Amino acid sequence: MTAPLRLRSIDYSILQQCIHCGMCLPTCPTYDATGRERNSPRGRISLMRAIADGDLEISSSFADEMSYCLGCLACQTACPAGVQYGVLFETARSDIQASGVDASPKRRFWKALTLRFLFMRPQALRAAGRLLRLHQRSGFEALSRRVGLTRLLPADLRRLEPQAPAIAPKFSNALIAPVEEPREPARYRVALLTGCVQDLVFPDINRDTADVLLANGCAVETPASQPCCGSLHAHNGELEMAAELARRMIDLIPPDRYDAIITNAGGCGSHLRHYSPLLGEDPRYAERARVWDSKVRDIQEWLVEIGPRQPAASPFDEPATVTYHESCHLVHGQKISRQPRTLLGLLPGITLTELPEASWCCGSAGIYALTQPEQADALLQRKVGHIATTGAALVATANPGCHLQIARGLQSAGSPAQVVHPVTLLARAYRRE
Amino acid sequence: MSLPASTVNAFAAIVGQNSVLVEAEDLVPYGFDGTAALKGRPDAVVFAKTTAQVAECVRLAAGARIPIVTRGSGTGLSGGSVPSQGSLVLCLVHMNAILDVDPRNLTLRAQPGAITARIDEAAGRHGLFYPPDPGSMRISTIGGNVAENSGGLRGLKYGVTRDYVMGLEVVLPDGRVARFGNQCVKDVAGYSLKDLFVGSEGTLGVITEVLLKLVPRPASRRTMLALYDRIEDAAQTVSAIVAAHIIPCTLEFLDRMTTRSVEEYAHVGLPTDCEAVLLMETDGHPVVVAEESAQMEALARAHGARDVRTARDEAEALQLASARRNAFSALARQRPTTILEDVTVPRSELASMVAFIAETAAGFGLQIGTFGHMGDGNLHPTFLADERDADEMHRVHEALEAIVKRTLEVGGTITGEHGVGLAKKPWLRQQVGDASLDLMRQIKGTLDPLNLLNPGKIFD
């Protein structure tokens, strides 16, 4: 082992904070699935502590365990003792990454393709998106599947290929001008982050976000080409890459110029507000990172903070029922739970029905659906089952991973329910005024 | 130490290959329960799914002389399920079925791994109620509750787990399956053996089924918070309520340190600037609830409460109670090591005991958070320390000795609801005396002559 283990060098009191009381157990989706302590938050922390104490080495079994963890952070919400599980989780994954014990070729393949290549280069990601769209639209996709060409793909790609999200015809930079001013004099000036998946698959949600900001008196600045925020990297133990991406982001969007830096993706937001721990040791960036962290807002949080204007119109001709699924990194990572419901409650003609287990992970969890397909699918079935009991026509959720995952689950269950971002409903309502 | 492959295979033949764990990464997480600073490592973990499997495992372990530590969710607070050297953990979380609810006889039958809160939910669907509510009820198992005779917030009015156990199925240390008790309200046929097993901490047998008594669900409840500038006033209020012949369902006390920690976690609007908070709850017929809560409020004000607040609705009442249930864990926010005590005194001694604990902590230069079930005299002084600081830990142990000594002097007990396990073992003889301890040992020796079921717990 070359580098010293981060688990042995982090503040030991973070590990000690866990008093293994077990209050996390009923909230952990993997413990719920197996009933085994190692698959629980306190069990995983006990393994980390054994490693920090030198009683256990980083092994492939430990790597498997940390890959099995969704990183949904439900345990962090449940923990009365205030254990920072997210920090421990990323530290452990970073040690695993550095130690090279994670021998699963499948996980290595996905991490290399996604983390090291695509999500480090916004242009490459958009180019890959265009290629995928070409493939999806050309008829070649259907043809190649019919003649069995897809059988030449590795098994994992083959399983996934038909599930690849439909890439949008135009990305965010084609839909949003670099600077847009509201009709009235601006009350606030904000920067809008367009994300990666959101940019390729749901650029309309970015447009809707800009519209809702404008309708609430915010001037919106949206740099045309933005780096990935580094959330996927940090989540998968690539802390150096995550720090590099954070520096690029701060260079592109100097935080002191804005009242707020707006994100509309739960997974990104949870990471975006924690640049300080990544850059705290970097004298050139530490101060700016601190300011950055204080300015990042989820769009829903920001709207409720500045007082959202109630739309005068309904988003649809007919009344509709909506239910709300909480993205893990919005509710557990950022503790944003009330605000989306407040916004949905403002919509004329829309009735909000609570979703059972609304804050239980849907199984998307970053690239978890790729690395742990069975568990991801089990969680998706559970989520879709609960959605069916609400009878809602719309499922609102504010994270592209959840959005795709749940849409796929609803489709294969034959459900007519549609997935929407809450700001899309707001934007529709403002447009129909 | 590890089990020979042939033994592992023999267990696998009983429960299936996937239900036997022997890898280090699987065993480390079974080395502890909810008790601070106690750790072991078992040689194996075995998951059983039926009584027959449990019996076969117990027989096999007896033949191979392997100690068995039975375990549910591992939330105990006295080290009862911390594995001893060379032991096998028999984990029953997969035996979690609620077998039936009988609304005609007001009983519920469940497997030992059933979660406590689920049992009350199942009862609730029939308009019935299972009152014992230990702090960990959302994950604790009924088997563990019975083995530890767990209490909870409602002990004052409703009693503890023992008061609800009507029958048990138990696998004895030699592998025989015994059934005790039945659905009859009255039953005096021979010794009440079920009562021997309630609170036996896994040392006498493995509980494989429980038959529980249910009661009608109270039609209404009211939850109130009384805030005090002096701890003694809170204690006096409790005495006054009891003296007025009111038995509320809950009278919980939290000191300033505890209140602050709970509020930091739960954000339920607990005041952080008062010395003591009483969480009071009365339940039952709406007329009685209205009358009792008015009386309790008046008594609280008469005894110096700065303010008395009533929960707006059921949701807020639940929020307050569940915030209180997390008091122990929330205290862990303050310091790395939290050492939780469970001393219980006759209610008449409560006020002086609370004062004594505060003086003792100050005298030893220690941080302490005290909370507890004031209505039943069960206190949880919790030392906030750092196990890496040897001097501080030494002072904690000195302070503990002083508190235990005082508790016993005033006729109290070293443990009200957590059990003896490993944590309270040093003081058991002091409390119960030689004859009583010897009798416990004789019973253990008769039932488990090989000393294989949870050895080293309660006494050596």
Q: Do B136 and A80 touch (CB under 8 A)?
A: no
Sites in chain A below the pLDDT cut of 70 = 1-3, 103-104, 139-164
Following DSSP, what letter does each residue of B110-147 receive, concatenated?
A: E-TTSBHHHHHHHHHTTTEE-----TTTTT-BHHHHHH
Could you say which of B32, B140, B336 has the minimum Cβ distance to residue A13? B336
| Residues of B with Cβ-Cβ distance to A36 under 8 angstroms | 21, 26, 29
Chain A, nearest residue to B140 by Cα:
A22
Query: Is some CB atom of chain B closer than 8 A to the CB atom of A356?
Result: no
B240 vs A202, A319, A432, B303, B306, CA distance in Å? Answer: 65, 57, 64, 8, 17
- Surface of A (64-93) touching B: CB under 8 A: 65, 79-82
Main-chain dihedrals φ then ψ at residue B336, nearest 5 degrees: -65, -35
CB contacts < 8 A (A, B): 97
Report the gap between the CA of B215 and the closest CA in chain A (Å): 26
Residue of chain A whose alpha carbon sits nearest to that of B19: A36
User: What is the C-alpha to C-alpha distance for residues A322 and A340, in angstroms, rounded to an integer?
Assistant: 12
Instruction: Mark yes or no for CB contact A22/B75 under 8 Å.
Output: yes
Residue B257, Cα to own-chain centre: how many angstroms?
22
Q: Scanning the structure block, which residue is given the tokens 């924690």?
A: A274
Q: Looking at residue A1, what is its pLDDT?
A: 40
Flag if B265 and A80 touch (Cβ within 8 Å).
yes
Per-residue tokens: A359: 């804050």
Burial B252-268 (b: 16+ CB within 10 A, else e): bbbbbbbbbbbbebbeb
Q: What is the dihedral of CA A214, A220, A224, A225, to 10 degrees?
A: -120
Q: Which residues of B touch A21 (CB under 8 A)?
A: 34, 75, 136, 328-329, 332
AA identity, residue A281? E
Assess B121–A contact: CB distance below 8 Å, yes or no: no
Among chain B residues, CA nearest to A62: B25
How far is residue A213's CA from residue A208's CA, in Å, rounded to a whole number? 9
Task: Determine, for residues B32 and A46 on separate chains, whether the beta-carbon distance falls below 8 Å.
Answer: yes
User: Which of A11, A20, A24 should be substituted to probe chain B, the one whose Cβ sees the most B Cβ atoms within 10 Å?
Assistant: A20
C-alpha to C-alpha distance for B60 and B64, rounded to whole angstroms? 6
Q: Does A55 touch chain B if contact means CB atoms closer than 8 Å?
A: yes
Q: Which residues of B touch A55 (CB under 8 A)?
A: 28
Q: Would you identify the CATH topology of the domain B5-91?
A: 3.30.43
Point out the residue among B28, B138, B328 whose CB comes nearest to the CB of A50.
Answer: B28
B5-91 and B98-216, same CATH topology:
no
User: Is residue A374 within 8 Å of residue A404, measured between CB atoms?
Assistant: no
C-alpha to C-alpha distance for A399 and A419, rounded to whole angstroms: 11
The reported pLDDT for the residue numbered A3 is 60
Chain-chain contact of A59 with B25 (C-beta, under 8 angstroms): yes
**pLDDT at site A161:** 52
- Which CATH number applies to B98-216: 3.40.50.1970, 3.30.465.10, 3.40.640.10, 3.20.20.70? 3.30.465.10
From CA A21, how far away is CA A43, in angstroms rounded?
Answer: 11
* Integer Cα distance of B444 and A23 in angstroms: 33
A395: which strand partners?
Answer: A323, A419
Among B429, B328, B339, residue whose Cα is nearest residue B372: B328
pLDDT recorded at residue A303: 98
Residues of chain A contacting residue B74, judged by C-beta atoms under 8 Å apart: 20, 22, 37
Is the pTM higher than 0.90? The answer reads yes
Q: Which chain B residues are within 8 Å of A22, Cβ to Cβ?
A: 33-34, 73-75, 136, 139-140
Tell how many helices (H) and how many strands (E) occur in chain B: 16, 18
Residues of chain B with confidence (pLDDT) below 50? none
B214 to chain A, closest Cα gap in Å = 24
Cβ contact A40–B336 (<8 Å): no
Closest residue, chain A, to B94 (C-alpha): A35
Shortest alpha-carbon distance between residue B273 and chain A (Å): 20
Integer-rounded Cα radius of gyration of chain A: 21
List of domains in chain A: 6-103 (1.10.1060.10), 106-163 (no CATH), 172-306 (3.40.50), 320-431 (3.40.50.1860)
In contact, B259 and B193? CB cutoff 8 Å: no
- Quick check: B28 contacting A, CB < 8 Å? yes
Select the CATH number that applies to the domain covering B220-409 from these four: 2.40.30.110, 3.40.50.720, 3.40.462.10, 3.30.420.40.
3.40.462.10
Q: Would you kindly state where each structural domain of chain B is located, as residue ranges?
A: 5-91, 98-216, 220-409
User: Which residue has 């599930």 as its token pair?
Assistant: A163
